[in-house]
A and B are shown apart, each in its own frame.
Chain A
Amino acid sequence: MTDRPEMKILVVEDDATTGTYITRGLREEGHTVDLVANGRDGLVQATAAEHDVLIVDWMLPQIDGLTLVKSLRGAGNRTPVLFLTAMGSVDDRIAGLNAGADDYLVKPFAFGELSARINALARRPRSLAQDTVLTAGDLTMDLVTRDVMRGGQRIDLLPREFAILEHLLRRKGRIQTRTMLLENVWGISFDPQTNVVETHISRLRAKVDKPFPTELIKTVRGAGYRIEG
């Protein structure tokens, strides 16, 4: 298992198959999960107990997800919310984020994507956020001089390669999915059909990992990439 501390997560999802799947996956990762199947129970649970993250489906019986999130935010509850929806358009994304959701995932999604996004949402202090030098293993990245060194060797990176590596280093130990990288490194909020992120990662690996005996950038199958802490 990973070194992630376990979280208390509330899942509000009316489809039993999806709900069970999410719940089981999160429990396997060591989290404590409450599952409810309608918006009213979701609102009650969310206000009654302290959760680290809420996973809320848009279409719910009794109270829909959008109203649920709005009500929570209106009541001053700031728990991070990941919104699940069948609709993938920008309009829907904006509606969800405007209601107070922190992130947004379009169905169908892979569990890896969900897991990565929940870990990104969890409000934990980022140990390296203030540092000007990021490290992982024998690699150091100086954000001021923009020097990247590994095993005493200097590595020349293109600006975008530097940005990808910085993003992964800042979130050391956490999986970053392809769509998360597209959103954060390129500012693109739709999914291209071509495996563009993979090709950038493999270029980066050719410089950062290939000349060295150990691999820093790990591929997590069906999810994304991670640099181990």
Chain B
Amino acid sequence: MSRLFTLLRASPVRLALGLVALFALVSLASLAASYAASRASLDATMRSDLTQDIAGFRAAPNARALAALVAAEARVTDPARVVLSYVTATGQRFGNGRLAQDRDGYFLTTLDAPDRRIDGQYLALTTPLYGGQLTIARSRAEIDALFTVFRNIVLLSLLPTLAVALGAALMLARRSARQVAALGRTLDRLTTGDLAARVHPTARWSDDFHRIATRIDRMAAAQEASVDSLRQVSSDVAHDLKTPIQRISVHLDQLSDMALPPDATTLVDRARAEVDGVVSVFHALLQIAQIEAGTRKSRFAPVDLVPLVATFAELYDPAAAEAGRDLRLCVATKAAVVQGDRDLLGQILANLIENALRHTPDGTPITIGLSEVDGTIVLTVTDAGPGIPEHERDKVLQRLYRLDCSRATPGSGLGLALVAVIADLHDAVLTLQDASPGLQVALRFKPVR
């Protein structure tokens, strides 16, 4: 029912219904006009027939002959069609009926005793003749029948036309609804990063939708090409930068193979660490750019976060223990399956745990929490460190932003920015909140059912 309603609201159906209504109105008006004209001409014909009938009876030479003529004619005449009546000067009645009168006006009755009223509309002409009164009345039933004829014309021609037009409109609307749905599906796939999605309209598509579909396909192709060329550019940039970085590390290796004074060895090690830092920033920036291009979403698959958090808690456990920390895992759900990219979700966990390790003093516990609250999967990483002041919580999600107090600690400044980008890709809500004391980073995912 609601589908039919939606269909009726579709623009082609509304257009078709409007046209059908207009067509029906014009048809009705022209039928009404021709009905009126036919009726008027039938009326005129009847009047002239009556005048001729009277003229025919006038041909009788005297009252007796006229009475005989009327009586003879009346015997073969059906009063339902024509009523003939001649009332002589002496009050004698001839014919198949007579004209009578009451308060409401004239009417026709039979000559039987008691007389019966003759129903129906009649057009009557009466004239005094040979001292008596001659009356001829013709039934208007023929004219009334005309109305039935016209009504049948309406029923037999106009209604089927309307039904066919309505049906055709609904069919067209269903076809266009299918085409609109195909356009919608393609646009959805493009939005989620599947840039290879196309509408591919067939020749059976209606002209206007075909044009729109062709343009969407052209737009998607252009988009795909520009993302491809962006990827080409970033791969060129990566190559052009990575090659000299590779050379630097080669030269550093060659340097460290030489017999160097201890100071120089320290410098070589420091230079190596700097190269590693450059590489990690570079990797993170490239990764953010690629994730923002959105194409990875097309490779999403269901990922259970329960074993994933277990793996990462276990992976970082000795590192945390070395710093005198307790890395707790608090899983309050049997399974937490989200639609996503396992590598990227792992990257989120690694970045959050490393962030907590790096920015809180040794000995501070870290808790990884996973639960399902009101149909939402909540992943949290909580530390009991100094936390982040409220006015700076948004800023730490920006690229390369670092708190003044953390400038001295190592890190690319891209860890949380990468987490934010990955969370966004997964339609997960990322919040930083006060764990008093400490910081709680929470990610809320929609579960896969």
Where the two chains meet, the residues of A that have a C-beta atom closer than 8 Å to any C-beta of B are 15, 17-18, 21, 58-59, 86-92, 106-111, 160, 186-190, 192-196, 199-200, 202-203, 222
Contact = CB atoms under 8 A, between A and B. Distances in A.
B347 A86 contact: no
Given A108-B245, A193-B354, A59 B239 contact: yes
7 contacts: A15-B243, A15-B246, A17-B251, A59-B239, A186-B315, A193-B410, A203-B318
Interface stretch (B7-15, B183-191, B279-287): B279-287
B279 A108 contact: yes
Nearest to A200: B318
A222 B275 CA distance: 14
Contacts of A106: 283
Contact of B322 (A108, A188, A199): A199
B242 A86 contact: yes
Given A90-B343, A108-B275, A108-B279, A188 B315 contact: yes
B296 interface: yes
Given A86-B235, A109-B246, A193 B296 contact: no
B245 A21 contact: no
A114 to B, nearest CB: 11
B155 interface: no
Contacts of B343: 90, 188-190
Interface of A is mostly: loop
Interface residues of B, number: 43
Contact of A91 (B241, B248, B275, B295): B295
Contacts of B251: 17
Nearest to B290: A89
Closest 6 CB pairs of A and B: A86-B242, A199-B318, A108-B246, A86-B239, A86-B238, A107-B242
Interface string B428-447: 00000000000000000000
Contacts of A194: 316, 319, 354, 357
B288 to A, nearest CB: 10
Contacts of A160: 314
Contacts of A58: 239
A202 B235 CA distance: 38
Contacts of A89: 286-287, 290
Nearest to A89: B290
Interface string B336-353: 000001010011001000
Contacts of B376: none
B311 interface: yes
Interface string B376-414: 000000000000000000000000000000000011100
A44 to B, nearest CB: 23
A87 B322 CA distance: 33
Given A17-B251, A18-B246, A90-B296, 20 more contacts: A21-B254, A86-B242, A86-B243, A87-B234, A87-B239, A90-B343, A91-B290, A91-B296, A107-B246, A108-B246, A108-B249, A108-B275, A110-B253, A186-B315, A188-B315, A192-B350, A194-B316, A195-B319, A202-B318, A203-B318
Interface in B311-328: 311, 314-316, 318-319, 321-322
A82 to B, nearest CB: 15
Nearest to B251: A17
Interface string B118-156: 000000000000000000000000000000000000000
B243 A18 contact: yes
Contacts of B247: 15, 17-18
Nearest to B293: A91
